[in-house]
């Protein structure tokens, strides 16, 4: 049986740059050819499942479970799978560890102040105005993962530098095939 590709899971607070990094990494690797690559994103899953999800702990866990299930399927098919999702709680982190045998956790670190400055969806502004009371990182703390395989600080490093760190990290774990660098 062929070993599935690892699943690279980018987690961090809202507006830390998870989706931006995942898309940039996919673009860089696709341009080089070789292993097929896909990005599953938390917002993408929320859009797929529609209005049945809210932001309760149960719904958040359902998003993570769906992402992990999709990731496992694509990894088993030989696709390099990158997931970008908040993954803020220990139950969600344990779930992905249990479901994904070849998991590489990347913590996308970013200060709350920088996240609030970026705020591409206006979520921090809405939370500050009292319109949202479930924004992790604002209404409650985002606890970093205890032992990530890689930590990227998007408060102090630009996207290009972080993507290069990801490429180097993947190469160091034997993930990139056909001489990709």
pTM > 0.75: yes
In a domain, 145, yes or no: yes
Per residue, the 3-state secondary structure of the chain, as one string, reads CCCCCCEEEEECCCCCCHHHHHHHHHHHHHHHCCCCEEEEEHHHHHHHHHHHCCCCHHHHHHHHHHHHHHHHHHHHCCCEEEEECCCCCHHHHHHHHHHCCCEEEEEEECCHHHHHHHCCCCHHHHHHCCCCCCCECCCECCCCCCCCCEEEECCCCCHHHHHHHHHHHHHHCCCCCCCCC
pLDDT above 90: residue 18: yes
CATH code, domain with 67:
3.40.50.300
In a domain, 65, yes or no: yes
In a domain, 178, yes or no: no
In a domain, 177, yes or no: no
In a domain, 1, yes or no: no
Average pLDDT over residues 43-52: 85
Range of the domain at 154: 7-171
The pLDDT of residue 47: 87
Say how many domains are in the chain. Answer: 1
The pLDDT of residue 2: 56
The pLDDT of residue 69: 97
């Amino acid at each position: 049986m062929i070993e599935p590709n690892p699943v690279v899971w980018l987690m961090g607070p809202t507006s830390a740059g998870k989706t931006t990094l995942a898309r940039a990494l996919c673009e860089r690797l696709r341009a080089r050819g070789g292993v097929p690559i896909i990005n599953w994103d938390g917002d993408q899953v929320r859009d797929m499942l529609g209005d049945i999800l809210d932001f309760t702990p149960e719904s958040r866990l359902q998003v993570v479970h769906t992402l992990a299930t999709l990731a496992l399927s694509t990894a088993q098919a030989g696709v390099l799978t990158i997931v970008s999702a908040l993954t803020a709680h220990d139950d969600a982190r344990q779930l992905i560890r249990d479901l994904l045998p070849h998991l590489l956790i990347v913590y996308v670190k970013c200060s709350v102040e920088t996240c609030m400055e970026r705020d591409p969806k206006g979520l921090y502004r809405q939370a500050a105005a009292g319109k949202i009371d479930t924004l992790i990182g604002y209404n409650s703390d985002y606890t970093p993962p205890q032992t990530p395989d890689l930590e990227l600080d998007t408060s102090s490093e630009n996207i290009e530098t972080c993507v290069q760190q990801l490429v180097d990290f993947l190469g160091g774990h034997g993930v990139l095939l056909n001489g990709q660098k």
